Structure formats: C-alpha cells, structure tokens
Amino acid sequence: MIPPHIIDDILQTARIEEVIGEFVNLKRAGSNLKGMSPFTDEKTASFVVSPAKQIFKCFSSGRGGNVVSFLMEKEHFTYPEALRWLADKYGIQLPEDRPATPEELAAISERESLHIINEFAKDHFKANITESDEGKKIGMSYFVERGFRPDIIEKFQLGYCLNTGKGFSDAALAKGYKREFMEKVGLTKVKDDRYFDFFRGRVMFPIHSVSGRILGFGGRTLLADKKVAKYFNSPESLIYNKSEILYGLYFSKGDVIKYDQCFLCEGYTDVIAMYQAGIQNVVASSGTALTKDQIRLVRRYTKNITILYDGDAAGIKASFRGIDLILQEGMNVKVVLFPEGEDPDSYSKSVGTSELETYLKEHTQDFISFKADILLKDDENDPIKRAELIRDIVQSVSLIPDQITRNVYMQTIAQRFDMSEEVLANELIKLRQNAASKQRFTKTGPRKETPTQSTSASSDDPYAQEPNPMQEEAVSTQPEIVTGFDHNEYDLMRILVQYGPLGLNLKQRNEQGEEEEFETSITELICHELDIDELVFDNPLFAKMHQIITDSLAEKVLLKSSYFQRLEDQNIVKFVSEIEMNEVEISHNWITKHNIYTNTEKDNLHKAVMGSIFSFKVSKVEKRIGEIRNSLTKNSADLDDESLMDLLSEQVALEKVKRIIAEKLGRIVMR
C-alpha cells in the first residue's frame, strides 16, 4: 500500500499535460490544450486538458478526471498501478516493493497477470544476451553484426530465447508464474503432455504499448532453413491485438509530435536502424497490412505519414490499400522509395545521418506521382493503362473526407496527366455517389431516396457528405455516474465542493433578541442546515461525499476540492473534475480592456448558497408530499383513523413548510 503522503507527492509532482502528451498530440487552445480523443474514433478534436487545474475532459466519450483517472481509463491500470507508473516516471521513491508471491499473483486480474508474465519474459531474454554463453555467442553477436550499438540494444530491450527447449518456461514456473498465462501470451506451447518455449533459439524484439508495457514479442530465427518461418509473433491475446499496435511508437511518439511527421516502415530492424541513425519519428506495422486502428493511433500525434518502401519490394502494389486507408482517415500521406536493393535498415547504415535526412527530403513524393511511377512503368504511352491509372488515382482521392483537399488533388491530377478538371470532377462525383449508395445499402438495405435524405452537400460536389460541426452529437455536461440525478442534489454538492471552505457573514439574534453578525464556512452552514432537518442525499455518490465531508468536519477540517482529486474513488474524482472543467473563467485583462464587468456566482455567493439549500429542502419536501399522496391513494382503505390523520397532518405541515421556503426563493406555489 502506498502511504497517503507519497500519493500526495506523486499527484503534486505529476503534470497531466506531460503524461497525456505521451498518448495524445495536444495543441494549445487558449489556457487549455486540445487533441483527438484516445478513447473514440472522432474526426474533430474534443479532448481537453487543463494544465492549470490538472484535469482532462473527453467530450466525445464523457470520460474525465485527473492524471490517475486517465491512466486507469487508457491503460486499464488499477489505482495503485497508475500511481506506481507516475512515481517511476517522475523518480519518486516508493516504499520497498517486494516481488509478488505465487498466492498474490493468483489474486491479480488476468489482464495484469499477462502483463507481468511478459515483463518477466522481457527481463529474462535481455539477461540471456549478457549473462549466458549461448546468448552472448548467438543473440548478442547477431545484434552486433546488424550494426546495433549497445545503447540501442538496451533501449529497445532486445534479447534472446535460449535454444534449450523449455529454459524460459522452467524459469518462469520456478518463479511461481502460472503456465496457463504463459500459454495465453504465447510464450509457452503445450503439446500432449509436454511443454516447450515457443520462441526457442530466436532473437527477441519486445513489442511495447504507447505507455511502455510489454504486449507481446517478435522472434527472429537465426537459421538459414527456408522451411522455418523467419519471424514468429506473439498470438492475439487479452492484451495484444496486432492490428492496434505500431512497433516503436513508445520510443518515437515524442519526435512524431515534435516534427509533426511519422515515418512508417515495415519491420522491427527498420525502426531500430532508423532510430539509431537519428531519424527517431519512425514506427513499423511489423509486417502486417496497415489497418485503420494503426492509422488512428498515429493520428493522435500527427496528421502526416510518410511511408518508406524497400527498393525491391515485390508487394508495393498490394500496399496501395494502405495509402487509401490513410487518405480515408483524413490524413496526409507521402511516399519514399529507397534505391533498388536497399531498405530503411540497410540504407540508414550505409550513409550518415545528414545524408539520410537529405535522401528522405529529396525523394519524398505525393501518392499521385508514386502511383503513376509504379503503375505506368514501361507503359507511359499505353492509353488503356493511363486511363486505368487515372481512374485508380481519382478513386483514392474520392476517399478523402475534406472537400478542399480533394479539389487540390484533382487540380494536381489534371496537371500531371494534362486532362480537363471537369472530366475528372465528373468521375469523382460518380465514385462518391456510388460509395454513398453502397454505404446506405449496407446500413439499411435498399430504400427509396427522399428529399430529406439527399446526400447533397455542395453545388460543385453534390454527392459529398461533409461532416457538419453544428450537427455533432450533443454531449451531456453532467458526469455519467450521476445519470438520473436530482439537479438540486447535484447543485448543492457542487457548491460544497467548489466553495466549501470559503466564509460567509451571516446574521442571527442573540439571547437578548439583538441581531449580530457571525462568520461560518459554507461547509458548516450546509451541513448544519441538512443536520437540523435530518436530510440526506439520495444519490449514492453524493451521500458518500457528504459522509466524507461531515467526518472531516467533526475533526474540524474543511476539505478543498483538491482533496477529492486525490481519492481512490474515481467516480468522485470524475465528478469533481467535471465541476472544475465547467467553470467559466474570464481573464482580468480582458475585462479591463473591454471595460466589461459581470456578476458571477462567486460575487453573489450568499444568495447562491442559500438558494441551493432551500431548493434542496423544497425537493425533499415535495418528494415526501408525493409519497404521502401516493400512500393515501393506494392504501387509504388499509389505514386506521389514527394513521390516516397522522399522514394528513404531516402533509398539511409540509405544504406549509413548502410555501415558506418558496417565499424565500421567490417562487409561486401552484396547487
């Protein structure tokens, strides 16, 4: 367990903008930072981070909270895990943390168990290339021969799985790890009544999540036997989905953001070699076909992707689909083709850093020129081939969601192939119309078009369905946890959290009947008012917070909103963050400059507090009156005279109380 004073130290040291900046490309938006949501597939940035308040709000998913909340949501950390991650990042010493016993491991969730197994495997494979003879002679020698420096080998945590059959599996079992979990992440294979290491005799490339957790491995054989697969990868598991992972992104995301550019290559060694050469904003799809999820992962950090192709890659044409997917996601795509016989790995080792940078700069092409060069090679004068190519390129452009970008590309195509823009525009319209029709058919089946269902979006592109920012899905401003809440309860708890420790000057009559002023905190006032009338919050979250507040008040401690941000209960953290994110802040300089002054809630705090208290009380009175009326309607025949009179008397008394409170609120009570 992490002591409270260390939790405070962690939360005071951690900077939410730095942590979230490792996952999301944030850009300044006034006093806040804004980026694309890491939780949803959105086209318009609605993810907001407030460095001043150290909170975040995702308006597309409704998530919000502090830096711990973010890590728990994004990385599925537990509360202690998120704190340990932050402590490690900011160099905060935690109490001695001993390895978990086998019994304790059994109690950990399956997801966490898989992460722990992979972490152990990474350390085991790393140790092999420095501590075992076989690992030094085979594993380390391979990496050195590939030209990788010791610091790069250490940074990417490269390793080797001994070719002993089950050396790793036995080592893991001896440490108390379950074979069941070793099988699930693909480190151990079981056949009949025997088990063995899946990656035996292979050099190992750990695959990291964006936050640095080990999700799986790539293992390369060092045998020349063509019957043996060159690479084995970890199987899909609860923690590893290869279509959602990009190798190297954990190391490169900072440079991707810095240069607003991501280089995309094919394999592990391509990334490592480029990184070593000084081009560190580079990732790899690890030999798999590029997926939408991988593209969206890059989009969190930049809209610009440059694909690096091997000079003799036989599958370049097949990879055109990846270009189309990038365009479809509204991103900018460029292409670099390396010299024949070269790939990013080999070329980056054969030239210096400046030479590599120059080559990338001078050989970057737009996808139109690239497709034309590849598809028209040796067929430049074949009219049929040219027509097919133009149609293929226009098809790619038709996928781009932004109309202006499409139009610019169409002008480029017209110039490149000396064609009429009008002819190309007609083809574009036809392609987008067909795509829209297919999409509607897929979603709803064939239906007759009506005027209100028209896909027309603009006069020059009648089949373009551009997103309308005014029609974006409305987002609730209230936390999900208090869905169905009583707004009077919400408002009173909001005031307790926002203004609780602040003082109010009130008046009361002394024993001599004289009016005198006294000062009290808003927390004390509200808790006193609820206590004398024996009122409680019905919402479980608010009831829990009210209990925390009253317990602290008994110890003569007034809680600030920052206290609630440090609690383990993330529902409370989210609620408090929501309140703080919704605060309207007006710059003093802006007020002075424009000579505009406005009364805020804080300027009329006494009125706001008393109004909230009275509204809360009225809501409770109305609720009780409703219960009495319901009881009289349904159960009057079963009630004896005394019980009936008691209920009627209570109702009359409550109606009187309701009118008195309503008068204080300036309301008219409707009968």
Token duo for residue 255: 């440079």
> With 0-12 CB in 10 A as exposed, 13-18 as middle and 19+ as buried, what is 348?
buried
- Say whether pLDDT at 107 is over 80: no
User: What distance in Å separates the CA atoms of residue 217 and residue 650, rounded to the nearest whole number?
Assistant: 71
pLDDT of residue 93: 85
The packing angle between helices 367-375 and 320-328, to 10°, is 160
Q: Are 368 and 413 in contact (CB under 8 A)?
A: yes
User: What distance in Å separates the CA atoms of residue 465 and residue 32, rounded to the nearest whole number?
Assistant: 31
The CATH number of 4-89 is: 3.90.580.10
pLDDT of residue 307: 93
CATH of 102-240, one of 3.90.980.10, 2.40.30.10, 3.40.50.720, 2.170.150.20: 3.90.980.10
Mean pLDDT value across residues 368-386:
78
Q: Are 482 and 578 in contact (CB under 8 A)?
A: no
> With 0-12 CB in 10 A as exposed, 13-18 as middle and 19+ as buried, what is 472?
middle
Higher-confidence residue of 115 and 440: namely 115
Q: Do domains 4-89 and 249-440 have the same CATH topology?
A: no
- Say whether pLDDT at 480 is over 90: no
Element (H, E) at 190: strand 188-191
- Say whether pLDDT at 198 is over 90: yes
DSSP codes, 465-516: ----GGGSPP--SS-GGGTT--HHHHHHHHHHHHHTT-EEEEEEE-TTS-EE
**What's the distance, Cα to Cα, between the start and end of the chain in Å?**
57
Model confidence band, residue 333 (pLDDT cutoffs 50, 70, 90): very high
pLDDT tens-digit map of 519-559: 889 999 999 989 888 888 999 999 999 999 999 888 888 88
Mean pLDDT value across residues 638-652:
73
- From the list 429, 420, 438, 366, the residue with the least C-alpha distance to 394 is 429
- Say whether pLDDT at 649 is over 80: no
- From the list 268, 228, 387, 393, the residue with the least C-alpha distance to 320 is 393
Distance of CA 133 to CAs 129, 130, 148, 161, 169, Å? 8, 8, 20, 12, 19
Token duo for residue 289: 């076909």
pLDDT of residue 100: 61
Higher-confidence residue of 479 and 475: namely 479
- Say whether pLDDT at 643 is over 90: no
- DSSP state letter for 338: P
DSSP codes, 70-132: HHHHHH---HHHHHHHHHHHTTPPPSP-PPPPHHHHHHS-HHHHHHHHHHHHHHHHHHHHHHS
Q: Are 172 and 98 in contact (CB under 8 A)?
A: no
pLDDT of residue 312: 65
Distance of CA 416 to CAs 327, 336, 392, 556, 644, Å? 19, 19, 14, 78, 91
Q: Are 90 and 158 in contact (CB under 8 A)?
A: no
Higher-confidence residue of 480 and 63: namely 63
Model confidence band, residue 141 (pLDDT cutoffs 50, 70, 90): very high
> With 0-12 CB in 10 A as exposed, 13-18 as middle and 19+ as buried, what is 176?
middle
- From the list 473, 464, 457, the residue with the least C-alpha distance to 401 is 464
Sorted by where each begins, the domain ranges of the chain are 4-89, 102-240, 249-440, 482-584, 616-665
Q: What is the mean pLDDT of the chain?
A: 82
416 contacts: CB under 8 Å, gap ≥ 6: 368, 369, 372
pLDDT of residue 265: 92
- Say whether pLDDT at 219 is over 80: yes
Higher-confidence residue of 389 and 95: namely 389
Angle among Cα 307, 309, 313 to the nearest 5 degrees reads 150
CATH class belonging to 249-440: alpha beta
pLDDT of residue 276: 95
Angle among Cα 115, 118, 122 to the nearest 5 degrees reads 140
407 contacts: CB under 8 Å, gap ≥ 6: none
pLDDT of residue 461: 39
- From the list 425, 389, 380, the residue with the least C-alpha distance to 407 is 425
154 contacts: CB under 8 Å, gap ≥ 6: none
Mean pLDDT value across residues 217-223:
92
User: What distance in Å separates the CA atoms of residue 290 and residue 325, rounded to the nearest whole number?
Assistant: 8
Token duo for residue 491: 């408002």
Mean pLDDT value across residues 554-568:
85
- Say whether pLDDT at 465 is over 50: no
Per-residue H/E/C for 217-286 = EEEEECCCCCCCCCEEECCCCCCCCHHHCCECHHHHHHHHHHHCCEEEECCHHHHHHHHHCCCCCEEECC
Higher-confidence residue of 588 and 239: namely 239
Token duo for residue 356: 């590599």
pLDDT tens-digit map of 441-458: 555 554 444 333 333 333
pLDDT of residue 590: 44
pLDDT tens-digit map of 601-621: 777 888 889 889 988 988 888
137 contacts: CB under 8 Å, gap ≥ 6: none
Chain centroid to CA 389: how far?
A: 39
Percent of all residues in the chain with a pLDDT value above 70, rounded to a whole number = 84
Where is average pLDDT lowest: 10-19, 59-68, 174-183, 635-644?
A: 635-644
Where is average pLDDT lowest: 135-144, 394-403, 459-468, 581-590?
A: 459-468
Token duo for residue 256: 């991707």
Per-residue H/E/C for 600-639 = CHHHHHHHHHHHHHHHHHHHHHHHHHHHHHHHHHHHHHHC
Higher-confidence residue of 401 and 669: namely 401
Give bridge partners of residue 204 from the DSSP assignment: 159, 219
pLDDT tens-digit map of 199-212: 999 999 999 988 78
Q: Are 523 and 553 in contact (CB under 8 A)?
A: yes
Where is average pLDDT lowest: 239-253, 359-373, 424-438, 644-658?
A: 644-658
Mean pLDDT value across residues 620-629:
83
Token duo for residue 225: 């036997």
